[in-house]
Chains A and B, each alone.
Chain A
């Protein structure tokens, strides 16, 4: 089993580095070229989410990414250590993430990344897109990043505890275990 671990200071500038490393490792693990864009986007979303959570709660703590070849699947786990007052149970496969992580039901605490501008907390804004109500950099509701990830990876699991959140994603690979 080959594992690559990366930890980085929770700065937005490092998210791109994490994307590049994950894409490179995925390619070496035998993930099909046609899926690499999805890997890059999904890992970027997970890292952005973790960076925002850390910047809010524990800016001195690094974000961690683990990349593993496992049973012909390339598995990426992005873990943060931001305290989470909401501790939903493990959501399991994609369906569970879609139900709990999109922000439409109010779940998820920090969700998609944003540029730190303030929120006005308003509700539906008439664009026909629920949850758009933030004044500031991002008009995307919390949990949106997880929703994007669930649309990109076949198997997405979110484990949320009081000590942090781990987002695990996987894609098929052709490399054999080493």
Chain B
């Protein structure tokens, strides 16, 4: 599978559902979606990676780029991921210290709300 993207709003937070593989070929679509959401004033984002089957450094770059964009508006971008195969690249790159990574969308949303 390539990449399937969807998004919805829950409790004022925009949740992005990602399914499939995020690599050099598919990452631009995720990038465009994140840019579009920020341009529409959505600065509190949760990216649900539970159905992501592959993530490489290109995908990491898109996520970091999205994080930078929302932070420019005092927003935040958190991730939902429990898959060890995906978390591994975050650990290798040290990005576990940069992103909030949660086990479920509800936990991610609750964490964001408790930050306010």
Which residues of A pack against B, CB within 8 Å? Answer: 12-13, 15-16, 19, 37, 40-41, 44-45, 48, 51-52, 112-115, 125, 127-129, 132, 134, 136-140, 144-145, 147-148, 151-152
Between-chain CB contacts (< 8 Å), 11 pairs: A44-B54, A45-B57, A115-B24, A115-B28, A115-B62, A127-B98, A137-B61, A137-B62, A138-B61, A138-B64, A148-B92
A112 and B58 within 8 A (CB) = yes
Contacts of B61 in A (CB 8 A): 112, 114, 134, 137-140, 144
Contacts of B14 in A (CB 8 A): none
Contacts of B10 in A (CB 8 A): none
Kindly state whether residue B33 has any CB partner on chain A within 8 Å.
no
Contacts of B95 in A (CB 8 A): 129
Contacts of A13 in B (CB 8 A): 25
Q: Given the complex of chains A and B, what is the CA–CA distance between A114 and B92 in angstroms?
A: 19
Kindly state whether residue B4 has any CB partner on chain A within 8 Å.
no
How many chain-B residues does the 8 Å CB contact rule pick out? 28
Contact among B56, B64, B65, B98 with A44 in the assembled complex (CB-CB below 8 Å): B56
- Quick one: closest B residue to A132, CB to CB? B64
Extra contacts besides A19-B23, A138-B57 (13): CB < 8 Å: A12-B23, A15-B25, A19-B54, A37-B85, A48-B23, A48-B58, A112-B58, A113-B57, A113-B58, A134-B61, A140-B60, A145-B56, A151-B92
Q: Given the complex of chains A and B, what is the CA–CA distance between A144 and B95 in angstroms?
A: 12
With both chains docked as a complex, state the minimum distance between the C-beta of A144 and any C-beta of chain B, in angstroms: 5
Contacts of A12 in B (CB 8 A): 23-25
Contacts of A140 in B (CB 8 A): 57-58, 60-61, 64
What per-residue 1/0 map shows which CB atoms of B76-90 lie under 8 Å from chain A? Answer: 000000000100110
Contacts of A138 in B (CB 8 A): 57-58, 61-62, 64-65
B25 and A129 within 8 A (CB) = no
